[in-house]
Structure 1
Amino acid sequence: MKHIAIALLCLTAALVNSSQAQDAPQMDLPRVKLSAGMHLIDAQVAATIEQRSTGLMFRRDMPQSEGMLFVFEQAAVQCFWMKNTLMPLTAAFVANDGTIVNLADMKPRTTESHCSKEPVRYVLEMNQGWFGKKGIKAGFKLGGPPFETK
């Protein structure tokens, strides 16, 4: 009986820690430098299921030259929503070679789905309007280590 009580206590503690982690932004992700023509981007990299699931949720702001690069194991149609995201973002759906397939402006706190028009391995989220101000559209090629052929 004592072992069951200890197990339940451990499970409860794990669930509390897990729920607290889900209510706070993730800030300690690895970073990669990307380029969009002459513009540099300091992107946090969300490469695990947990990192991708949390993404930019619960953040109130993000510096203009920063973004988040979501990296998937293989190319597929990727869809994003903004349920717990507090700031407007634009998602760039990016092919293996760094070419932007399509862009989607996303409103905060919505469950509207925004999807790539074809299979992609990468999604780069930036503050809404960043791509437009820089004249970056579908077909533009991003540079950086993730897009270099090996």
Structure 2
Amino acid sequence: MLVLAAGAAAQAADESMLEIVTKDGVHVFTIEMARTNEERQKGLMFRKELPEGRGMLFDFKPDQDVSMWMRNTYIPLDMLFINGDGTIRRIAENTEPLSERTIPSGGPVRGVLEVIGGTAKKLGIKAGDKVAHPLFSGQ
């Protein structure tokens, strides 16, 4: 029982807030961080749901070209590829669950934000919008 409580506390401790500034306003997300190779490889695999307003931010320090995939991921996701200065470089919308097709960043990025599929369209999030989070310079 103590192990479960400690694990839950550790997961909650690695959550933070992230804001995306669009022409229509500021959208706030509660995110989990994926910093280690193991965390980045697992990502959101095996999850059956991801509530609106939540997501996972992958840290690829230093900035680099990255490719993602949807292996063992059961829910469609929007992937927001984010430059080191917090500018969204590219968005892959409604990625296909369980696909092993690679989804490239389209250039060097510092992070990738995964949110439930359809979020970018629903909130009007576009390439060029800014992300505010301590991961990105100037934050």
Taking structure 1 as the reference length, the TM-score comes to 0.78
Higher RCO (C-alpha under 8 Å, 6+ residues apart): 2
Provide the rounded CA distance (Å) in 1 between the counterparts of 2:43 and 2:71.
11
Q: CA deviation at 1:101?
A: 0.2
Q: Which has the higher helix share?
A: 1
Matches within 5 A, 1:59-70: 59-70=47-58
Partner of residue 88, structure 1: 76
Q: Which runs of 5+ in 2 are unaligned?
A: 1-9
Higher strand share: 2
Q: What corresponds to 2:111 in structure 1?
A: 122
Instruction: Write the distance in 1 (CA, Å) between the matches of 2:131 and 2:138.
Output: 13
CA RMSD of aligned residues (A): 1.5
2:32 partner letter: Q
Once the two structures are TM-superposed, the CA of residue 131 in structure 1 deviates from its matched residue by 1.0
CA distance in 1, matches of 2:131, 2:74: 26
Counterpart of 1:33?
A: 17
**1:149 is the counterpart of 2:138:** yes
Matching residue of 1:132: 121
Q: Please report how far the alpha carbon of residue 119 of structure 1 lies from its aligned counterpart in structure 2 after TM superposition.
A: 0.4
Q: How many residues align?
A: 124
Q: Deviations over 1:78-129 (max 9, x none)?
A: 1000010000001000001110000012110010110111100100001011
What code does the residue aligned with 1:33 have?
M
Q: Which residues in structure 2 correspond to 1:37-56 (within 5 Å)?
A: 37=21, 38-56=26-44
Larger of the two Rg values belongs to structure: 1
Show structure 1 runs of 5+ residues with no match: 1-26
